[in-house]
Amino acid sequence: MLGRISAFYRWVGGWPWHGILLAALFLLGVSQLPQTSSKCHRQMATECTRELHGSRNSIVNSATTLKPKPRTIVDQELEATWKALVNWFADGNHWLVIGTVALAVFAYLQVEISRRTARRQLRGYVSLRPTIIYNIGYGYHPRIDFIAKNHGQTPCSDLRAVYEIALLPEPLPPAHKFPTPESSLNFQNSLFPGADLTIWIVSKRALTPDEVNDIFIDRQRLHCWGILYYRDAFRRERQTKFSASVGGQAFSLSVFSKLLGVTGPEWQWTFGVGHNDAT
């Protein structure tokens, strides 16, 4: 290694222009390095500056986009209303007023419930029970007697009835609805608590021979339905519905036995839906 260096030195020393030329080339290269480095630094600085300007513009644009919209009058009024409600509820006097009003309403409801309960317990309740049927024969107008009884604790007055008596097939068609009764009777009676009263209704037309025969063989039944109206002690109008029918072999034997003056078999009324419904 030392030999090579010595040979190079001898070559350089033996040829002075070679050393001068090498030194010049070295100095030229050294002088160019800072310039190239400075140029690169300037380019990098320029690019960084551009990126910084672009970022700043993006931030400014984003800030402009996210800038809150100006508040409208409606928003201001809503905020003012909300603040007023918060302040109102925060005031203890208002809670005192609310509590007083709530207690007054509760007391009124209790009084009203007690009053209605007392009326319901004290009012009159009238029931109807059909007992005897008259005039089952050709050319007669059937008459049906009822026992009306007051089961309430106060009197009932102004008894009147709307009703209908008609022959209908047996059995009745499904979902059968009775027509609206058209006949009416005004009894002009009162019923005291626990008392009963006999009232009656009469058919508008007489029976034909075929209808009498249909009743006895249970092909048709004699139906009666309607509503009994009355007033209770509080002067409110009340009503009781009634619906019943009769017919069949036991009924026919009882009718013939009565004509012969002997005791016949017992027969029963058949009650319809809603019989003795009271309101």
Domain locations along the chain: 73-121, 126-271
Q: What is the mean pLDDT of each run of 10 residues along the chain (279 residues)?
A: 50 49 49 47 56 52 52 72 72 67 76 64 86 91 96 92 95 91 90 93 94 93 96 91 94 84 86 92
Non-local (6+) Cβ contacts of 158 within 8 A are 188, 190, 229, 230, 231
pLDDT of residue 17: 47
**The two three-digit tokens of residue 44, written as one number:** 């990098």
Report which of 224, 206, 97 is spatially closest to residue 142, judged by C-alpha positions.
Answer: 206
Q: How do strand 220-231 and strand 126-134 relate by DSSP bridges?
A: unpaired
What global pTM score does this model have? 0.59
Report the alpha-carbon distance of residue 5 to residue 55 in Å, rounded: 58
Say if residues 242 and 225 touch (Cβ distance below 8 Å).
yes
pLDDT at residue 246, rounded to an integer: 95
Q: 3-state class of 153 per DSSP?
A: coil
Please give the pLDDT value at position 55. Answer: 53
Contact 178, 221 (CB under 8 A): no
Length reported for the chain: 279
Residue 163 CB coordination number (10 Å): 20
CA distance 13 to 11: 5
- Helix-helix angle 2-14:16-65, to 10 degrees: 100
pLDDT of residue 124: 85
Q: What dotted CATH number matches 126-271?
A: 2.60.40.10
